[in-house]
Amino acid sequence: KADPDRLHTEVWVIDQNMDSGSTTTTMFDAFITQAQQDLWMMQCYMVINKPLLERIRYAADRGVNVHVILSDNHVGGRFEHATFHGILDLLEAGARVYIYESPTGSLLHKKMLLADDRLVSVGSANYNFRSQYLSREISLVFDDPVAAELVRPFLDEVLEYSREVGVEEARGFRSFGSLLTFLMMQLGG
């Protein structure tokens, strides 16, 4: 017999195009501001910027445990250098950062947000300038603990193959070359 309390689900489709403004940014902001305990951000290419760092710091200062999962095995060095260059800034803003190391050597191209095992987003948007302002992006957002129960095993599996990045390792990702790539990828990454 179906549990009537588990039959109510709210779902939104976030469809961003050039005419819609930055609905992707609004979605990320909603997750950051709604999270009360835990926020998971699984991103392939996260070319961070000052507003993102301010939002992560805002969540961390409120006591939210912010977790960012990035991928190893990028298809191009510029994506890896630009993404990994920002890890130190993420750590300093209060996030914990993990790098997924696929057992098959593949790129983790999934994008997922999970807030408090209740709010879930899956879709195409990375947290970067291109996804926020220039690209066509689509995401499904669920306000439903049942949806969270469905994505949680995937998150746990990804974490089995992930390692947490410390400050010393994050400093090792910084170089003049990675800075130049990071700056170049602010618009193209």
In the predicted model, is pLDDT for residue 11 greater than 90? no
User: What does DSSP say about strands 137-143 and 162-164: parallel, antiparallel, or unpaired?
Assistant: unpaired
Confidence of residue 21 (pLDDT cuts 50, 70, 90): low
**3-state SS record for 77-134:** HHHHHHHHHCHHHHHHCCCEEEEECCCCCCCCCCEEEEECCCEEEEECCCCCHHHHHH
Confidence of residue 59 (pLDDT cuts 50, 70, 90): very high
In the predicted model, is pLDDT for residue 167 greater than 60? yes
**What pLDDT was estimated at residue 77?**
84
Radius of gyration from C-alpha coordinates of the chain: 16
For 96-100, 113-117, 120-124, which range has the lowest pLDDT when averaged over its residues?
Answer: 120-124
